[in-house]
Structure 1
Amino acid sequence: MVSYLAALAVIALALSVLMAGAWVVQQRTGNSGWVDTIWTFSVGLVGAASSLWPLENTSPNARQWLVAALVAVWSLRLGMHIAVRTAGISDDPRYAAFATEWGLAAPRRMFVFLQNQALGSVPLVFAIFVAAHFPQTGLRLQDYLGAIILALGIAGEALADSQLKQFRETPGHQGQVCDAGLWRWSRHPNYFFEWLGWLAYPVIALSPHYAWGWASLLAPAFMYWILVYVTGIPPLEAQMLRSRGERYRDYQSRTSIFFPLPPR
């Protein structure tokens, strides 16, 4: 009990410090896109480290190494993708809209916003921790199934990102709305597959004999709420309506907002 609470406290402190660093980078560069890059690497770093956190002075077992590897691969893939995208822009339009709304209070409000983001990331990393520390040393079918789910999430998100990049780089598509490939079935397939990947940790952690495992459900629940209702879809769709207008409204009318479904 004490070890789990101690790990929870360390996770929260580490994320707070790292997101304070993200605020410094954002203030000095003026490019808010680095915030998401640093957040992704921070969750990956703290998640992998917490997976290998020793309990009862024992060495990390196969499950701990598996979970650490899974979160590391996720973090590196997504973090590098966001970093490349950020290097090619002057600022992230979502955060730029917040800065305009906040006015002179923008630096202070951004710091508070990022600390709230750090706090909100605690359930995600704690889900990784409890999955890694399932009280059984040998790998089970659940562990392999969780790894497959996360692999599907990573692959699906990478495919969606690639299709969007290819669409944007095709001559004549400037100002158009991407509705090819996965984007024909969902307006935000990258977000869907990101959420799907977080289901891996409950699959690994849930068991009637492991009370802490239920905490892993917070990860997909919180990620769904963030993506669908807070910092994911709402500001992005508002920005797309400003830049694409009726073209995007037409896309909205026939395409599922999140879960991939046949277009209407």
Structure 2
Amino acid sequence: MSLPAVIGLAWAGAAVAMAAGWLWQRRRANAGIVDVIWAAGVGGSALLYALLVDAAAWPRATLALLGGLWGLRLAWHLWLRVRNEDEDGRYRHLRTHWQGHQGAFFLFFQAQALLVVVFSLPFLAVARNPVDGFTGWWLAAVAVWLASVAGEGIADRQLARFRADPANRGRTCRAGLWRYSRHPNYFFEWTHWFTYVLLAVGSPIAWLAWAGPLVMYAFLRWISGVPYTEAQALRTRGEDYRHYQRTTPMLIPWFPRDAVPDDPLQTVTADSPDSPDASRKDPE
């Protein structure tokens, strides 16, 4: 099957799934399902391209396994949140902004179907790779995938534990990886996309694999990731989150900075939940 036909099939499947998701959110007033469908759609596109694009078997099998497992893990994690929690604050904000207009939500869902295609482009580069068998690039790709997916999974679990404790309502998670980055889940999600850059080495369209980390960084840093998440955090956590912003790196993990001298939250006691020695359960 030609590449345009395969891409068109991926888009059609995503568009139908997003239309079903729009109907689901209309009945339940929870637009968080769009994230579940996006993750499943991108992961599903890895399987689709591995099956339908004609090139070496080894990179296609690797793509199906790594891309499929990544999408399955992320979609399941997001589904548990959608199923068990109220609508995410970002989508409640959109619902208020659009005054519940379902036409706006439908267009939003269909825009996410297009983004499924955009984020599937690195998979095409891998699927077209004629280099078969084990290589140093393949081993490096698997190492990056393992580290990134494990890191994102750890960050997600730490955040889920924190959110599950009612005592943490209105407060900011600073436990585990969240001590070193305000968005460690986003960081590992971003580094995960370098997997396909490495797997695509030798492909005639290897350059296309760079769409993954470049586009993902742009979305996380400036469009739909950090800006929306932090705006919601400031609305719900106020000064606690401002303190977190002043002391903790935004994306790339590093050691936290000292609080500024006039910071009203800089002093904590050993018994305070904000103390480094305090026992915490782990979101944002």
Asked if Structure 1 and Structure 2 have the same fold, meaning a TM-score greater than 0.5 normalized by the shorter chain, the answer is: yes
Distance in 1 (CA, whole Å) between partners of 2:76 and 2:95 is 25
Matching of residue 113 in structure 1 with residue 131 in structure 2: no
SS of the residue corresponding to residue 20 of structure 2 reads: helix
Paired residue for 2:119? 124
Q: Where is the helix percentage greater, Structure 1 or Structure 2?
A: 1
Distance in 2 (CA, whole Å) between partners of 1:26 and 1:171 is 26
Paired residue for 2:68? 72
Structure 2 stretches of 5 or more lacking a match? Answer: 258-284
Distance in 1 (CA, whole Å) between partners of 2:63 and 2:16 is 23
Paired residue for 2:59? 63
Task: Map 1:1-264; keep pairs closer than 5 Å.
Answer: 3-55=2-54, 61-104=57-100, 106-170=101-165, 172-207=167-202, 210-264=203-257
Deviations 1:122-166 (A, max 9, x none): 122121122122012323221221122111111001100111122
- What letter is aligned with 1:5? P
Contact 1:14–1:46 (8 Å) recurs in 2: no
Deviations 1:23-77 (A, max 9, x none): 122112211121111211121112211122142xx7x712211110101111121
Q: How many residues align?
A: 257
How far apart are residue 82 of structure 1 and its match?
A: 0.9
Contact 2:14–2:113 (8 Å) recurs in 1: yes
Contact 2:50–2:61 (8 Å) recurs in 1: yes
Distance in 2 (CA, whole Å) between partners of 1:54 and 1:215 is 15
**Which segment drifts farther, 144-153 or 165-174?**
165-174
Contact 2:129–2:204 (8 Å) recurs in 1: no
Distance in 2 (CA, whole Å) between partners of 1:256 and 1:90 is 28
How far apart are residue 170 of structure 1 and its match?
A: 4.3
SS of the residue corresponding to residue 103 of structure 1 reads: coil
Q: TM-score, normalised by structure 1?
A: 0.91
- What letter is aligned with 1:215? L
Contact 1:11–1:126 (8 Å) recurs in 2: no
Larger Rg belongs to: 2
Contact 1:128–1:201 (8 Å) recurs in 2: yes
Distance in 2 (CA, whole Å) between partners of 1:189 and 1:118 is 26
SS of the residue corresponding to residue 257 of structure 1 reads: coil
Q: TM-score, normalised by structure 2?
A: 0.85
Structure 1 stretches of 5 or more lacking a match? Answer: none
**Cα 1:99–1:172 shift into 2, 3 Å:** closer
Structure 1 consecutive aligned stretches of length 4 or more whose deviation exceeds 6 Å: none
**Which segment drifts farther, 217-226 or 26-35?**
26-35
**Cα 1:139–1:13 shift into 2, 3 Å:** farther
Contact 2:138–2:198 (8 Å) recurs in 1: yes
